[in-house]
Structure 1
Amino acid sequence: MAVTSAPIKVDVATDQLISHAAHFLGKAKKDLVEVAVREYIEAHRTEINDGIRAALSRLDGSSASAVSLLADVPVDQLDEYGGMPDAD
């Protein structure tokens, strides 16, 4: 299976840092970014897992809790934005 890639956007200053580091390390920019992101995620795995647990604790199986989590709007404020349709 062919490996596909997806573009990412960074500001000019960050792109320059990536370019310089890649050049002096003798790596392709994409390889440097891949390793850097994987190392960053591994270094912050506890924080990421804590965020996942906090998000899951807000879900109760209802559509309202899912919309609340995705929209970052408290469940009790959903009616102010049109509410949730009645279940059939």
Structure 2
Amino acid sequence: MAAAVTPIKVDSATDQLISHAAHFLGRSKKSIVDDAIREYIENHRVEIQEAVGSALRQLDGSTASSVALLTGMSRDELDETGGFVE
């Protein structure tokens, strides 16, 4: 199965850096961005895993825990605004 191609948006300064790197390395812009993203994720894998673990620990299956995680509000703050009936 072929991979889907999804456009991403970067500011003009970043696009210029990508273009220069691609030109001087004799590669496509797509190749430069793909490698850069993969390298970034690999270099930050521990941080990403910790953030995922933290999010999972906050979720208890309730609507309130999902809303708290998505909004950044505490459960107490949600209760103050009316809370949730599960």
TM-score (norm: length of structure 1): 0.86
Matching of residues 4-83 of structure 1 within 5 Å:
4-81=4-81, 83=83
Task: Name whichever of 1-10 and 65-74 sits farther off.
Answer: 1-10
Deviation of residue 80 (structure 1)? 4.7
1:13-61 superposed Cα distances (whole Å, 9 cap, x missing partner):
1110000001111111011101110011001100100111111111112
Query: Structure 2: where are the runs of 5+ without partners?
Result: none
CA distance in 2, matches of 1:36, 1:3: 18
Q: How many pairs does the alignment contain?
A: 86
Q: Secondary structure at the match of 2:59?
A: coil
Q: 1:11–1:82: structure 2 CA closer, same or farther, 3 Å change rule?
A: farther
User: Kindly, what percent of the aligned residue pairs are identical?
Assistant: 59
Larger RCO (CA within 8 A; separation ≥ 6): 2
C-alpha RMSD of matched pairs (Å): 1.5
Query: Structure 1: where are the runs of 5+ without partners?
Result: none
One-letter amino acid matched to 1:3:
A
